[in-house]
């Protein structure tokens, strides 16, 4: 499925993946006047400089040549190759993808001037942030006849009332995934955050646990375990969460946002804090590889974070027309269902129900029963002072 | 006369202008940025908003509000200091060797020291990832000794040890060259005189060579200490989650948290530290010159 | 003591040798030697992102070394001839200070003031900024070691400053200029920290690609590209050293 031929963006890196056409004209405007270098065959030197000019010009301009391309900035592992090729066939265009593994990473890159993305798939609080900083283009609902397929429960959210800018794509829950056989063998509970935070359980899992390298996600898990809301901004509560994390840290193998899927599948890691669709993939991978164990996943009883990811149009995107076509394509029940069937993400599309694999439909992490729904919360954006305090706590968590 | 002045402006003008625009100006902007508020969604808040200038000391207050930031600064100084000392210890024999070798070999020997520099800095760091990795021959050998004594196997990679090894490896040539330049100028007569006066090899070194070489030592130390202070790639690749230094903090503020004012404040603090070290190095090398 | 020095030399070369050797290792892991293969080099040359990054690296290095050499030569001559106070400071400090400070301040400048989208141009400017100083140092050192009388003679014979430059100065410092250009090229191709902050999203260079591979999925492909890059920069430095020996002494990267 999704192989490592497509390198993922990092939380800490500025790495391009698919070739992004540079938006600057580098050529003559940057190079100052030519000064022939003296009697050292000045004509030769002049010719050399001209060749360099031409080289620079052709190489940079060739990348700006208009192609029917749609630039999608999406989470890692959040769309399948099959879906991509079917879309490319239907629109006779090319889908160029770039990836992020964290909302913060995506927002940071956009804030630093990254441009040219037509479509982004941020989570609710990030959508809120993007709307407030006026980076989005409103969507034209007339171009989206399939919008009626979406379950109204997922529309008209607090972060985008009236859905002026966003269309639901999929949702995931941040929960715990685990090696079922190992956990049973060690007699450990699998329905609570305690197994991630309590030394008495962690003792048996030393070096076999990973948590997400995400400030909000890890703090949310700790806050939920302590009985607070994920949107609690009381600094005293945050300090308790921080201390809880610091206490558990020595038992964890790593803070990890992307490779935990592989580690779970191989059997190096027995318990991981991660996203439900990633856990689904680990489960499938383990089965296909014929491993002697099963990967299972569950939403802890104390509650967890629900991430509703939506498609939005960035205002610097060059092809809003193709973007709308993609959105409408993904709103078709069949395509939306393909997403769920292949990556195990939650599905807000009513029309998709009929196409979804019954085995997956039965999975409570994919389709929420009311009791689980009650425990879930969506993250709200923080203000700048809170972000600063959180950042300091994160530094403390990393260092202490 | 006019032509002379014109030439002067023509020749010094363009580089001067370029550096002012792309070096001085950004530095000034960074200083100003450290006094601004962070933008609601990252970056910087506007300087003039709600009919008033938006400036504040809050980032500096924030820096001192919790010991953790000072702690990371201190840790960076410690690592830089350790790296410098180790570099001096390792560079000295090499520099001495090069001075004792017949002149025709010297350039080659220097070239040999500088050549590893030809490789990309990342490659040099990555090489240590391989050597210190848990499956490498080196790690296995060390750990078999360790476990033979009954201790738990020690992870060599992703530790402060790996960070220091990486820092030393990257900066060693910086120390060798200034040291050699200095040692080369020593008059061998001084050593002969010391020997005639009855001093043994150790005393000759300690009382003659070492004091004379101090300017070179200081120059090399500055060339090692300052870059190590600001480095983030080595801890990022070879260090564990807790081995963050100032450079990592700054990078995190600019590319992760998007708290640009605070990132600027950290950068200003780093700059002040660098200026202090540079000033110290200059003062000491001038002082020791007066002894020579 | 010779033994200590020898150990240090060994310390310097062993890690790089390991990298090169393992680039031919027929195994995904950099652990044990399995067998000889060219496989990783094949993978390398089919890796589109890597090729794109290499192209970017070379383009930027060409542009940066060209402009930096011009500006640096002018700066070197100015520093030697006119004894200005400000210019040496401006030109040399970027070379001496921690790279992260330069990278971060340029990031701020590009985004806040110029509202420039980070890309090839921003990296180019950043590279020029730290290469200029290096070239200037080399040129100035070269000029300092020369006999002033030849310039006086030219002036006495009625040559204009431009003629003096073109017919006397330039040929004399040409080796230093070429050495400076080659070193700028190397510095630019090798640069990581400053490029990291000023590259933005759409542009990758070889060091950035290497970094990304080191952080995500280490395969011997990294060893392969490292070996090739090493050979390239080695060649350039040796070439530069043949033109001007002081290049080695002043090598600060």
Q: For A118-176, how does the pLDDT look when each residue is reduced to its tens digit (9 = 90+)? A: 999 999 889 988 998 888 999 999 989 999 889 888 888 888 999 999 999 999 999 99
More confident residue, A368 or B170: B170
| Count of A-B CB contacts under 8 Å | 77
Size of interface A-C (CB pairs under 8 A): 123
Measured CA to CA, the distance from residue A225 to residue A176 in angstroms comes to 13
Q: What is the pLDDT of residue A199?
A: 94
Pairing of strands A271-275, A209-211: parallel
Distance from CA of B218 to the nearest CA of A (A): 32
CA distance B170 to B148: 32
ipTM: 0.86
Q: What is the pTM of this model?
A: 0.81
pLDDT digits (tens, 9 = 90+) for B64-85: 988 999 999 999 999 999 999 9
**Does the CB of A15 have a partner CB in chain C at under 8 Å?**
yes
What is the reported pLDDT for A64? 47
Q: What is the pLDDT along chain C (253 residues), one digit of tens a residue?
A: 678 888 888 898 989 888 888 888 887 777 677 788 888 888 888 888 889 999 999 999 999 999 999 999 999 888 888 877 788 888 888 888 899 999 999 998 988 888 777 788 999 999 999 899 889 988 888 888 888 888 888 888 888 877 888 888 888 888 889 988 988 998 999 899 999 999 876 688 999 989 988 887 778 888 898 888 888 888 888 888 788 766 665 544 3
CA–CA separation, A192 and A370 (whole Å): 18
Q: What is the pLDDT of residues C47-78, one digit of tens each?
A: 888 899 999 999 999 999 999 999 999 998 88
- Condensed to tens digits (0 to 9), the pLDDT of residues A213-246 reads 888 899 999 999 999 999 999 999 999 999 999 9
Could you please state the CATH topology (level 3) that the domain comprising C48-250 is classified under: MetI-like fold (1.10.3720)
pLDDT of residue A213: 87
How far CA A108 is from CA of A13, B36, B209, C81, in Å, comes to 11, 18, 53, 47
**Among candidate residues A300, A302, A255, A306, the one with its CA nearest the CA of residue A277:** A306
The tens-digit pLDDT sequence of chain B (292 residues) is 577 788 888 888 899 999 999 999 999 999 999 998 888 777 788 877 777 788 889 899 999 988 999 999 999 999 999 999 999 999 999 988 888 888 888 888 888 888 887 788 898 999 898 888 877 888 888 888 888 888 877 888 888 999 999 999 999 988 998 898 888 888 888 888 888 888 888 888 888 888 888 888 988 898 899 999 999 999 999 988 888 999 999 998 888 788 899 999 999 999 999 999 888 888 877 766 654 4
Is C212 in contact with A56 (Cβ distance < 8 A)?
no
Q: How far, in Å, CA of A392 to CA of A394, rounded?
A: 5
> A295-298 and A376-377: which strand pairing?
unpaired
Of A91-105, A191-205, B38-52, B170-184, which one has max mean pLDDT?
Answer: A191-205
In this complex, the residue of A14, A111, A130 whose CB is nearest that of residue B43 is A111
How many Å apart are CA A191 and CA A301, to the nearest integer? 6
Question: Would you call C49 and A16 a contact, using CB atoms and an 8 Å cutoff?
Answer: yes
Q: Is the four-CA dihedral A218, A222, A227, A231 of positive or negative sign?
A: negative
Give B17→chain A minimum CA distance, Å.
13
Whether A21 contacts chain C with CB within 8 A: yes
Instruction: Give the separation between CA C244 and CA C223, rounded to whole angstroms.
Output: 31
Chain C hits for A4, Cβ within 8 Å: 216-217
Range A291-294 contact pairs with CB under 8 angstroms and sequence separation of 24 or more: A291/A265, A291/A267, A292/A181, A293/A179, A293/A180, A293/A181, A293/A182, A293/A267, A294/A179, A294/A180, A294/A181
- To the nearest whole Å, the CA of A324 is away from the closest chain C CA by 23
Nearest by CB: B120 against C93, C218, C229: C229
B88 touching A (Cβ < 8 Å): no
Contacts of B179 (CB under 8 A, 6+ apart): B88, B91, B92, B95, B213, B216, B217, B220
Mean pLDDT of all residues belonging to chain A:
81
Q: Is C121 on the interface with A (CB under 8 A)?
A: yes
Contacts of residue C125 in chain A, CB cutoff 8 Å? 30
Cα separations in angstroms, C176 against A182, B107, B110, C34: 67, 18, 19, 46
**Looking at residues A322-338, what average pLDDT do you find?**
91
* A37–C170 CB contact, under 8 Å: yes
Instruction: Give the DSSP H or E segment for B53.
Output: strand B52-53
Give me the phi and psi of C190, to 5 degrees please: -85, -15
- Report CB contact under 8 Å: B257, A104: yes
Q: How far is B12 from chain A (nearest CA, A)?
A: 15
For the cut 50, the answer to whether the pLDDT of residue A16 exceeds it is no
CB contact under 8 A, C120 and A26: yes
Q: Please check whether residue C114 touches A, CB under 8 A.
A: no
Residue A184: pLDDT band by 50, 70, 90 thresholds?
Answer: very high
Instruction: Residue C164: name the closest of B7, B10, A36, A49 by CA.
Output: B7
End-to-end Cα distance, chain B: 45
Q: Which residue has the tokens 């190992």?
A: A182
**Are C91 and B135 in contact (CB < 8 Å)?**
no
Q: Which residue is listed with tokens 């870059």?
A: B227
Give the C-alpha distances (Å, rounded to integers) separating C212 from A9, A349, C191. 8, 36, 14
Go through the domains of chain B in sequence order and give each one's CATH number. 64-291 (1.10.3720.10)
List the end-to-end C-alpha distance of chain A, in Å, as a whole number. 39
Please give, one letter per residue, the 3-state secondary structure of chain A. CCCCCCCCCCCCCCCCCCCCCCCCCCHHHHCCCCCCCCCCCHHHHHHHHHHHHHHHHHHHHCCCCCCCEEEEEEECCCCCHHHHHHHHHHHCCEEEEEEECCHHHHHHHHHCCCCCCCEECCEHHHHHHHHHCCCEECCCHHHCHHHHHECHHHCCCCCCHHHCCEEEEEEEEEEEEEEHHHHHHHCCCCCCCHHHHCHHHHHHHCCCEEECCCHHHHHHHHHHHCCCCCCCCCHHHHHHHHHHHHHHHHHCCEECCCCHHHHHHHCCCCEEEEEHHHHHHHHHHHHHCCCCCCEEEECCCCCEEEEEEEEEEECCCCCHHHHHHHHHHHHCHHHHHHHHHHHCCECCEHHHHHHCCHHHHCCCCCCCCHHHHHHEECCCCCCHHHHHHHHHHHHHHHHC
pLDDT in tens, B169-203: 999 988 998 898 888 888 888 888 888 888 888 88
- Closest CA in chain C for residue A18: C49
**How far is the C-alpha of B202 from the C-alpha of B209, rounded, in Å?**
10
Measured distance CA(B18)–CA(C67) in Å, rounded: 11
Q: How far apart are CA C116 and CA B7, in angstroms?
A: 33
Q: State which H helix or E strand residue B52 sits in.
A: strand B52-53
Residue A56 has pLDDT above 70, yes or no: no
Q: In this model, does residue A302 exceed pLDDT 50?
A: yes
Q: Could you report the per-residue pLDDT of A251-268, keeping only the tens digit for each?
A: 998 888 677 888 888 888
pLDDT at A32: 36
Residue among A113, A116, A260 with most chain C CBs within 10 A, to mutate: A113
The count of CB pairs under 8 A between chains B and C is 243
Q: What is the pLDDT of residue B289?
A: 60
Tokens of A224: 């939920």
Considering chain A, what percentage of its residues have pLDDT values greater than 90?
37
- Best probe of the A interface among B36, B42, B79, by most A CBs < 10 A, is B42
Of all residues in chain A, what percent carry a pLDDT higher than 70?
82
3-state secondary structure of C99: helix
Among B236, B249, B257, beta carbon nearest to A387: B257
The answer to whether A392 contacts B43, with C-beta atoms less than 8 Å apart, is no
C-alpha distances out from residue A189 to A255, A264, B221, B262, Å:
22, 18, 55, 42
- At residue C105, the pLDDT reads 93
Q: Which among A104, A129, A392 has the least Cβ separation from residue B68? A: A392
* Chain C nearest CA to B66, separation (Å): 23
Closest chain A residue to C70, measured at CA? A35
Pick from A111, A255, A388: CB nearest B41: A111
Beta strands B48-49; A136-137: pairing state: unpaired
Nearest by CB: A398 against B69, B241, B262: B241
Q: Where are the alpha helices (DSSP H) in chain B?
A: 2-19, 25-33, 58-65, 67-100, 103-114, 121-132, 137-148, 160-184, 188-196, 201-204, 210-230, 233-238, 246-255, 260-291
Quote the pLDDT of residue A231.
92
Contact B271 C101 (CB under 8 A): yes
Q: How many CB atoms lie within 10 A of CB A47?
A: 11
User: Is B66 in Cβ contact with A384 (below 8 Å)?
Assistant: no
Return d(Cα A170, Cα A278) in angstroms, integer: 13
């Amino acid at each position: 499925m999704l192989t490592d031929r497509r390198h993922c963006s990092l939380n800490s890196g500025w790495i391009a993946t698919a070739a992004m056409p540079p938006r600057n004209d580098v050529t003559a405007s940057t190079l100052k006047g030519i000064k022939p270098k003296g009697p050292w065959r000045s004509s030769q030197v002049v010719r050399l400089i001209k060749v360099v000019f031409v080289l620079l010009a052709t190489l940079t301009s060739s990348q700006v040549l208009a192609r029917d391309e749609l630039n999608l900035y999406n989470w890692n592992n959040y769309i399948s190759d099959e879906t991509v090729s079917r879309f490319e066939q239907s629109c006779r265009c090319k889908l160029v993808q770039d990836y992020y593994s964290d909302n913060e990473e995506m927002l940071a890159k956009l804030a630093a001037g990254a441009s040219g993305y037509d479509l982004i798939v941020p989570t609710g609080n990030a959508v809120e942030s993007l709307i407030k900083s006026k980076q989005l283009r409103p969507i034209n609902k007339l171009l989206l006849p399939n919008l009626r397929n979406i379950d109204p429960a997922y529309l008209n959210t607090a972060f985008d009332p009236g859905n002026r800018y966003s269309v639901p794509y999929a949702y995931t829950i941040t929960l715990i995934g685990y090696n079922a056989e190992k956990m049973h063998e060690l007699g450990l509970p699998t329905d609570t955050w305690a197994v991630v935070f309590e030394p008495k359980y962690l003792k048996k899992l030393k070096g076999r646990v990973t948590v997400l390298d995400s400030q909000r996600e890890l703090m949310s898990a700790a806050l939920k375990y302590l009985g607070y809301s994920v949107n609690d901004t009381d600094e005293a509560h945050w300090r308790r969460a921080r201390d809880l994390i610091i206490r558990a840290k020595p038992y964890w193998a790593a803070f990890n946002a992307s490779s935990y899927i592989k580690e779970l599948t191989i059997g190096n890691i027995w318990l991981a804090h991660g996203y439900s669709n990633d856990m689904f993939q680990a489960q499938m991978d383990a089965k296909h590889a014929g491993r002697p164990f099963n990967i299972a996943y569950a939403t802890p009883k104390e509650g967890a974070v629900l991430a509703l990811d939506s498609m939005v149009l960035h205002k610097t995107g060059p092809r809003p027309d193709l973007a709308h076509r993609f959105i409408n394509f993904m709103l078709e029940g069949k395509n939306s269902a393909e997403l769920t069937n292949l990556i195990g993400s939650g599905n807000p599309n009513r029309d998709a129900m009929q196409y979804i694999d019954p085995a997956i439909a039965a999975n409570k992490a994919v389709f929420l029963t009311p009791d689980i729904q009650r425990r879930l919360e969506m993250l709200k954006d923080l203000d700048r002072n809170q972000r600063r305090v959180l950042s300091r706590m994160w530094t403390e968590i990393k260092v202490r | 006369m006019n032509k002379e002045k014109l030439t002067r402006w023509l020749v010094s003008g363009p580089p001067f202008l370029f550096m002012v625009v792309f070096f001085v100006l950004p530095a000034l902007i960074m200083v100003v940025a450290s006094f601004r508020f962070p933008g609601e969604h990252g970056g910087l808040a506007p300087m003039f908003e709600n009919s008033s200038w938006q400036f504040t000391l809050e980032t500096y207050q924030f820096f001192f509000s919790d010991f953790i930031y000072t702690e990371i600064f201190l840790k960076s100084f410690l690592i830089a200091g350790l790296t410098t000392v180790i570099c001096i210890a390792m560079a000295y024999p090499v520099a001495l060797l090069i001075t004792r070798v017949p002149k025709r070999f010297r350039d080659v020997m220097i070239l040999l020291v500088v050549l590893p520099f030809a490789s990309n800095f990342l490659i040099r760091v990555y090489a240590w990832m391989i050597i210190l990795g848990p499956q490498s021959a080196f790690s296995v050998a060390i750990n078999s000794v360790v476990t033979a004594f009954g201790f738990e196997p020690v992870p060599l990679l992703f530790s402060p040890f790996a960070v220091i090894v990486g820092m030393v490896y990257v900066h060693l040539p910086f120390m060798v060259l200034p040291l050699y330049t200095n040692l080369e100028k020593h008059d061998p007569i001084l050593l002969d005189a010391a020997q005639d006066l009855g001093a043994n090899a150790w005393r000759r070194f300690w009382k003659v060579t070492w004091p004379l070489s101090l300017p070179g030592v200081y120059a090399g130390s500055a060339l090692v200490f300052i870059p190590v202070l600001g480095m983030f790639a080595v801890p990022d690749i070879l260090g564990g989650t807790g081995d963050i230094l100032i450079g990592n903090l700054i990078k995190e503020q600019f590319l992760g948290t998007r708290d640009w004012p605070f990132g600027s404040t950290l950068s200003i603090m780093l700059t002040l530290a660098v200026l202090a070290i540079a000033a110290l190095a200059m003062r000491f090398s001038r002082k020791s010159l007066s002894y020579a | 003591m010779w033994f200590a020095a020898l150990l240090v030399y060994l310390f310097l070369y062993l890690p790089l040798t390991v990298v090169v050797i393992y680039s031919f290792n027929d195994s995904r892991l950099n652990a044990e030697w399995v067998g000889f293969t060219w496989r990783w080099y094949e993978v390398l040359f089919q890796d589109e992102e890597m090729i794109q990054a290499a192209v970017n690296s070379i383009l930027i290095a060409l542009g940066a070394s060209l402009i930096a050499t011009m500006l640096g030569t002018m700066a070197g001559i100015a520093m030697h001839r006119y004894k200005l106070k400000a210019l040496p400071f401006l030109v040399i400090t970027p070379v001496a200070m921690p790279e992260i400070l330069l990278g971060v301040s340029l990031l701020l400048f590009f985004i806040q003031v110029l509202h420039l989208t980070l890309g090839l141009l921003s990296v180019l400017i950043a590279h020029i900024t730290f290469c200029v100083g290096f070239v200037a140092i080399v040129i100035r050192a070269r000029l300092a070691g020369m006999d002033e009388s030849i310039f006086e003679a030219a002036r006495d014979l009625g040559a204009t400053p431009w003629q003096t430059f073109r017919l006397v100065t330039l040929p004399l410092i040409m080796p230093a200029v070429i050495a400076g250009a080659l070193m700028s090229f190397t510095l630019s191709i090798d640069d990581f920290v400053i490029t990291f902050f000023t590259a933005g999203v759409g542009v990758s260079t070889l060091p950035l690609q290497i970094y990304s591979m080191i952080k995500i999925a280490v395969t011997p492909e990294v060893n392969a590209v490292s070996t090739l890059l090493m050979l390239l920069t080695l060649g350039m430095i040796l070439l530069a050293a043949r033109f001007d020996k002081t290049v080695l002494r002043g090598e600060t990267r």
